[in-house]
Structure 1
Amino acid sequence: MTDTAGELGLTVGVLKGLLSKNERSFYEGKPIIVQVSNIKIIDQSPDGGNGESSIKYRVLLNDGQYSLHGLITSECVPYCEANGFRKTSVISVQDYNLVTTQKHIMIINSLEVKHQTSTKITGNIASCDAYYAEHPDEDFLELVKRNQVGDSFSDNKVQPPSNRSVSPSNGAAPKGASMFQQRQVNAIEQLSPYQNHWTIKARVSYKGDIRKWSNARGEGKLFNVNFLDESDEIRATAFNDLADKFYQQLEEGKVYYVSKARIQQSKPQFSHLSHPYELALDRDTVIEECFDTSNVPKIHFNFTKLNDIENAEANSIVDVIGVLKEVNPVFQITAKSTGKPFDRRNITIVDDSNVAITVGLWNTSAVDFTVSEGSVIAFKGCKIQDFAGRSLTLTHAGSMMVNPDTPEAYSLKGWFDNKGVHENFKSLKNENSATKNAFNSRKSILQAQEENLGMSEKPDFFNIKATINFFKTENFCYPACNNVLDSGSQQLSNTCNRKVVEQSDGTWRCEKCDMNFAEPHYRYILNCSVMDSTGQLWITLFDQEAQKLFGIPAGELLKLKEQQMNGENSEFQKIINDVTMKGFNFRLKARQDSYNGVLRVRYQVLSISDVDFNAECDHLITQLSSMLN
């Protein structure tokens, strides 16, 4: 028994006890107070053709020690809907039948919702099905079946089973049936190291890439996969040759029977799933595809409202759902540690808590994003970032689903179309914080030079507000290799971008990739002079920042320059003039460099933005106020 079960007032052990021929008399007459661990709505139209819908709830019940599958009849549904029945509700079962087919099932004819709680009991909860599969002689329903007793055994109308086989027709397993079709299936939620024999029926909700590793003890490779059923989701890992084996066997989205994997404590630093355990796929593990995909959800969400993200723990992983409000263009970010470029796109979603939040997409997800504004998007596995306010970024193991078939999606779509489209939303981005940080690290050009920024072993980073007064337009770009290198991950794009050299046959060659190309793609490497009231600097803008400055790719600007040189009408000079003698905010990286034996400091632009005159005025007012005080 867990402390939580006692606090919730659960009748601990009652689910197993009612099925036990030895314990049943002890539990008869006691209140059956249990928690609802999971709910699935079943909508079945009768054959009578009257068009009425018969809704039932398939549930997983939990008494703090054991779990049991249940079915809430359609007569109870109106009461449930009117009394806030949901996952984690604590209920009192007042009238029920116990039956067995593939599983032991409690058919609930009458219940009372005792109270609501956000606490979900987890841990070492055993499955009644698993227990009685190992102890069939204790199974009361098996005793009923053998003795062929009548339909009623007590005031609670416990009914005997008509069939305990998996087969839906005549009770005999079909010829050639797999080993899994003749054993009990366990819920993922109930898996723990204390179970010796178990089988899960689950969908591959996430399939990672094979990743290589090396350390002082050697090298190897691994592969991660997530399995999902109605109750929960669990992570599994395979190493070395088993990684190759299971990577080939498992396909994302398909359903499998899995057994004989090693159950071990989960490692939260490597997984965002809430399950306390994970699976290690070893040589004894048996996995077989299941073609009966009924009752296995496609994806499992545990949604967090957008207004709750403001107070959530930074760097925690959440699932969110919202309406797409804004889509920004793709841009590139270069990793400081490796120098590799990554594609990124920021989108904004909103929900009925009247909050808007930015979600960052990466690489393939960013480039291939074509969702229309106004669509509902569910995200699984977003990381909460705490820089200049709150935002989200989709993790490499995360996923998104457009217009999912969930109650939350239908509710949000109806709200947005009728009301939300006209709402003003609170943004969780704290622009004032970002602006304040920018002002705090701002230097004048003279300050940067007098403080010898960039002359130490490590680079220095600072901000300036300066005006561009001159461009070197002779060589503002270079022909680059556009070969996409194999980074060992489908999630990351890694273009070579080395300079290519034109060959005598008109092709362009990259020595690093040992490849020739019909055409290169051009990337900016732009040098310009900037000045403020205290001095002047030469700075370098690379492709991402220069493209943001001019608004067009380097290859297009090069064509305009060639047209101008050929005497044709061209907007080249106009584009240059439009940003000359214009002020910008620059984030600079200063580092020491040697050129022809002479030490100097090179200033690279990390980011560029327009001057926010409102923020500048506020900053001046703050400075003046502090001086006067």
Structure 2
Amino acid sequence: MSDLPQLTAGICTRINDNVREDDQLFNIQPTVQLLSFKKIPPTSGPTQDRYRVIVSDGEHFLQSMLATQMNYIVEEDQIAKGTIATIEKFSVNLVQGKRLLIILALKVLVKHAEKIGSPKALQPRGEDGAPASAPVTPGPSTSTTPAAAAVPARQQTQAGRGGRAAAVYPIESLSPYQTHWTIKARVTNKSDIRTWSNQRGEGKLFSVTLMDESGEIRATAFNAAVDELYDRLQDGKVYLISKAKVNLAKKKFSNVNNEYELTFERSTEVEECHDATDVPTVKFNFINISSLQDVAKDSTCDVIGVVKDVSELSSITSKATSKVIPKRELTIVDRSGYSVRMTLWGKQAEQYDENDHPVIAFKGAKVGDFQGRSLSMMSSSTMHVNPDIPEAHALRGWYDAAGADQQFQSHTGTMVSGGGITFDRAEIRNLNDVKVSELGMFDKPDNFCARATIMHIKSDNISYPACPTTGCGKKVLQMGESWRCEKCDKSFPKPEHRYMVAMAVSDYSGQAWFQGFNDVGQTVFGMTADELVEIKDREELQYNTVINASIGKTFNFTCRAKQDTYNDQTRVRYGISRILPLSYREEAKYLADLLLTSDWAR
């Protein structure tokens, strides 16, 4: 026992009895023993698991929680019951009237050790240091509710506006139940100003990613707040920020690992902080390029690589806005022996001028499946050229020594049929959820799975005359007795009709309009578009019978939700990427598997 590190005597009592003025408490790094730890699953929403830990100083024990960025020490089996560790950074929150230690950074000294001493429980203390069970004397501003579940008790002091002190809270501790807080955070990403126009009106917005030692959070400013804050918030700088609104995060529009996000308002206070030594720079979670085949399409990841090749600047024209968007493609490689194409857009594509095979770290790049696996920068992604981090130095040395002459393998050929878009019964969303979640809004399309029943099909213009050349399919124009394809520069005696189907579908939650093309029509009607057009030209009644026979049929759909602007009106269109008739054998098997794996079956 004498060879074990000495625990910091009395630290549990100091934390439990701490009053706000004892800020020196947070400058020490106590050594404690971890008596136990337990996973606390999220109660709702897309939140992360949390881990509750009991810490002991040998005399008393105290409840604590791991910050979410520390989850890996449990998941990677770096700690065990009895582990002795030094808490390098921590905070203290007030949860349901009791003090809770939040561990932000931890260093393991001894993984396995016998229990030290006979630690006892401490009497819970309130925010003022008094016993939590003591009666509270009413005051003019002591109104609280049980919903105020997490009010941080830690209070670092920093000179604020007008000479008053500001209470600095870690980002990890923010929640919608708090109103008076200040965070000290670095801007790690700042978007351009974007505008929108729809039936609800017009507006503009921009977003930033903020980071401190405890984690990250996304913040968005709208309309008047854009004018107030856009020029004041700069990439890489540190700010004291307060009086912003904390909301549940919309995960579809952000890759930031936080269950909450901030909304900047006109009253939001932002002050640049020149003392930034305690605020870290960007954190990465790199994966090897060879591992991209295991990453789901449309998800995001962090990669680092050496630029092997650079394409010339080119451009595409947006179908939605008709704007010309500059693009440039980089081929990056790493020590895994693989290469991948990274697409830069807009200003990044125009301003890229590195010609000396730089090392670039990409944070939050979007994974695509074009020709295997590819990467693309989004508005929330960041690019760091020759960053001063160990991974970049290691890559630089490897490439200069051997990598420049190495042959690299691409991910070409790993794309599955159907463009990588599959139907997953476990991911089915009801139509009301699709609309409430605003899938397809803002600057990127979203894929989703649904099961719905056809309620109505637009029977006029159900197909169009197309070029019969394999791989073309463009609309042809009738010129006399022939049909002309401008793309192929050929004329044909007759066209090949292709479906263009618009249908109203419904499930138990609501209704939506889906659009599909040739393969969708063939699945729904059981015949080619040429055959259906022939029926329509021959007998209208029989044509209507075929259309009506499809009403009431239920299908599994994989759809792509995307914002579309037509005649100055913006709306979301739901395009069918894949349609599958119901297989009752597969549906029954899926339900049986659910029962077998459910807690009820156990």
Give the TM-score normalised by structure 1: 0.48
Secondary structure at the aligned position of 2:230 is classed as helix
- Indicate the residue corresponding to 1:32 in structure 2: 34
- Indicate the residue corresponding to 2:584 in structure 1: none
- Indicate the residue corresponding to 2:297 in structure 1: 314
Return closer, same or farther for 1:88/1:325 CA change in 2, 3 Å cut-off. Answer: farther
Amino acid at match of 2:110: E
Secondary structure at the aligned position of 1:367 is classed as helix
Secondary structure at the aligned position of 2:486 is classed as strand
Deviations 1:134-153 (A, max 9, x none): 824269xxxxxxxxxxxxxx
1:401 Cα deviation (Å)?
0.9
- Indicate the residue corresponding to 1:234 in structure 2: 217
- Indicate the residue corresponding to 2:70 in structure 1: none
Measure the CA separation in 2 of the matches of 1:362 and 1:106.
Answer: 36
Q: Which has the larger radius of gyration?
A: 1
- Indicate the residue corresponding to 2:567 in structure 1: none
Secondary structure at the aligned position of 1:412 is classed as helix
Q: Is the contact made by 1:589 and 1:603 (CA closer than 8 Å) also made in structure 2?
A: no
Q: Is the contact made by 2:32 and 2:85 (CA closer than 8 Å) also made in structure 1?
A: no
Q: How does 1:516-535 map to 2 (within 5 A)?
A: none
Q: Is the contact made by 2:370 and 2:415 (CA closer than 8 Å) also made in structure 1?
A: no
Measure the CA separation in 1 of the matches of 2:327 and 2:293.
Answer: 23
Secondary structure at the aligned position of 2:296 is classed as coil
Q: Is the contact made by 1:233 and 1:300 (CA closer than 8 Å) also made in structure 2?
A: no
Q: How does 1:76-87 map to 2 (within 5 A)?
A: none
Matched, 1:603 2:507: no
Q: Is the contact made by 2:32 and 2:84 (CA closer than 8 Å) also made in structure 1?
A: no
Secondary structure at the aligned position of 2:303 is classed as strand
Amino acid at match of 1:135: E
Deviations 1:293-341 (A, max 9, x none): 2132342322222122101111001111111112122223233444433
1:251 Cα deviation (Å)?
2.3
Amino acid at match of 1:394: M
| RMSD over equivalenced CA pairs, Å | 4.8
Measure the CA separation in 2 of the matches of 1:256 and 1:237.
Answer: 15
Measure the CA separation in 1 of the matches of 2:78 and 2:162.
Answer: 36
Q: Is the contact made by 2:186 and 2:210 (CA closer than 8 Å) also made in structure 1?
A: yes
Matched, 1:93 2:89: no
Q: How does 1:216-235 map to 2 (within 5 A)?
A: 216-235=199-218
Matched, 1:210 2:193: yes
Q: How does 1:290-369 map to 2 (within 5 A)?
A: 290-369=273-352
Secondary structure at the aligned position of 2:380 is classed as strand
Secondary structure at the aligned position of 1:430 is classed as coil
Return closer, same or farther for 1:230/1:181 CA change in 2, 3 Å cut-off. Answer: farther
Amino acid at match of 1:32: L
- Indicate the residue corresponding to 1:137 in structure 2: 129
Amino acid at match of 1:230: E
Q: Is the contact made by 2:66 and 2:104 (CA closer than 8 Å) also made in structure 1?
A: yes
- Indicate the residue corresponding to 1:112 in structure 2: 110
Secondary structure at the aligned position of 1:32 is classed as strand
Measure the CA separation in 1 of the matches of 2:229 and 2:183.
Answer: 16
Q: Is the contact made by 1:200 and 1:257 (CA closer than 8 Å) also made in structure 2?
A: yes
Secondary structure at the aligned position of 1:252 is classed as coil
Amino acid at match of 2:84: V
Return closer, same or farther for 1:233/1:29 CA change in 2, 3 Å cut-off. Answer: closer
1:108 Cα deviation (Å)?
8.3
Matched, 1:370 2:254: no
Secondary structure at the aligned position of 2:357 is classed as coil
Q: Is the contact made by 1:98 and 1:107 (CA closer than 8 Å) also made in structure 2?
A: yes
Q: Is the contact made by 2:31 and 2:84 (CA closer than 8 Å) also made in structure 1?
A: no
Measure the CA separation in 2 of the matches of 1:107 and 1:430.
Answer: 42
Secondary structure at the aligned position of 1:414 is classed as helix
Measure the CA separation in 2 of the matches of 1:62 and 1:379.
Answer: 33
Among 344, 353, 369, the residue aligned to 1:386: 369
Amino acid at match of 1:243: V
Measure the CA separation in 1 of the matches of 2:207 and 2:411.
Answer: 33
1:603 Cα deviation (Å)?
2.7
Matched, 1:19 2:10: no
1:425 Cα deviation (Å)?
2.1
Secondary structure at the aligned position of 2:292 is classed as helix
User: Which is helix-richer, 1 or 2?
Assistant: 1
Measure the CA separation in 1 of the matches of 2:89 and 2:351.
Answer: 51
- Indicate the residue corresponding to 1:570 in structure 2: none
Measure the CA separation in 2 of the matches of 1:392 and 1:109.
Answer: 35
Measure the CA separation in 1 of the matches of 2:370 and 2:206.
Answer: 32
Secondary structure at the aligned position of 1:424 is classed as coil
1:457 Cα deviation (Å)?
6.2
1:391 Cα deviation (Å)?
0.7
Q: How does 1:484-495 map to 2 (within 5 A)?
A: none
- Indicate the residue corresponding to 2:520 in structure 1: none
1:238 Cα deviation (Å)?
2.0
1:273 Cα deviation (Å)?
1.3
Q: Is the contact made by 1:325 and 1:373 (CA closer than 8 Å) also made in structure 2?
A: no
- Indicate the residue corresponding to 2:581 in structure 1: none
Give the TM-score normalised by structure 2: 0.50
- Indicate the residue corresponding to 1:159 in structure 2: none
- Indicate the residue corresponding to 2:474 in structure 1: 590
Deviations 1:480-503 (A, max 9, x none): xxxxxxxxxxxxxxxxxxxxxxxx
1:350 Cα deviation (Å)?
1.2
Measure the CA separation in 2 of the matches of 1:107 and 1:456.
Answer: 62
Measure the CA separation in 1 of the matches of 2:214 and 2:104.
Answer: 17
Measure the CA separation in 2 of the matches of 1:412 and 1:67.
Answer: 36
Among 171, 174, 182, the residue aligned to 1:199: 182
Amino acid at match of 1:295: D
- Indicate the residue corresponding to 2:251 in structure 1: 268
- Indicate the residue corresponding to 2:261 in structure 1: 278
Q: Quote the sequence identity (%).
A: 35
Measure the CA separation in 2 of the matches of 1:384 and 1:432.
Answer: 12
Amino acid at match of 1:366: A
Q: Is the contact made by 1:22 and 1:138 (CA closer than 8 Å) also made in structure 2?
A: no
Secondary structure at the aligned position of 2:285 is classed as coil
**What stretches of structure 1 of length at least 5 have no aligned partner?**
1-13, 36-60, 70-83, 116-130, 140-163, 168-172, 438-454, 465-586, 607-629
Return closer, same or farther for 1:178/1:272 CA change in 2, 3 Å cut-off. Answer: same
Deviations 1:374-416 (A, max 9, x none): 3210112211111221110111222211111112112222222
Matched, 1:402 2:391: no
Q: Is the contact made by 1:180 and 1:257 (CA closer than 8 Å) also made in structure 2?
A: no
Q: How does 1:248-259 map to 2 (within 5 A)?
A: 248-259=231-242
**Alignment coverage as a number of residue pairs:** 360
Q: How does 1:476-491 map to 2 (within 5 A)?
A: none
Secondary structure at the aligned position of 2:347 is classed as helix
1:97 Cα deviation (Å)?
10
Return closer, same or farther for 1:283/1:107 CA change in 2, 3 Å cut-off. Answer: closer
Amino acid at match of 2:16: S
Secondary structure at the aligned position of 1:233 is classed as strand
Amino acid at match of 2:252: Q
1:201 Cα deviation (Å)?
0.7
Q: Is the contact made by 2:366 and 2:378 (CA closer than 8 Å) also made in structure 1?
A: yes
Matched, 1:416 2:399: yes
- Indicate the residue corresponding to 1:581 in structure 2: none
Measure the CA separation in 2 of the matches of 1:384 and 1:109.
Answer: 34
1:265 Cα deviation (Å)?
0.9
Q: Is the contact made by 1:184 and 1:199 (CA closer than 8 Å) also made in structure 2?
A: yes
Q: Is the contact made by 1:201 and 1:258 (CA closer than 8 Å) also made in structure 2?
A: yes
1:355 Cα deviation (Å)?
1.6
Q: Is the contact made by 1:388 and 1:433 (CA closer than 8 Å) also made in structure 2?
A: no
Measure the CA separation in 2 of the matches of 1:588 and 1:110.
Answer: 63
Q: Is the contact made by 1:223 and 1:239 (CA closer than 8 Å) also made in structure 2?
A: yes
Matched, 1:427 2:410: yes
Deviations 1:453-490 (A, max 9, x none): xx9965858876xxxxxxxxxxxxxxxxxxxxxxxxxx
Amino acid at match of 1:21: D
1:242 Cα deviation (Å)?
1.9
Secondary structure at the aligned position of 2:175 is classed as coil
Deviations 1:136-179 (A, max 9, x none): 4269xxxxxxxxxxxxxxxxxxxxxxxx9858xxxxx6xxx537
Measure the CA separation in 1 of the matches of 2:31 and 2:193.
Answer: 55
Measure the CA separation in 2 of the matches of 1:380 and 1:317.
Answer: 8
Matched, 1:189 2:166: no
Amino acid at match of 1:31: Q
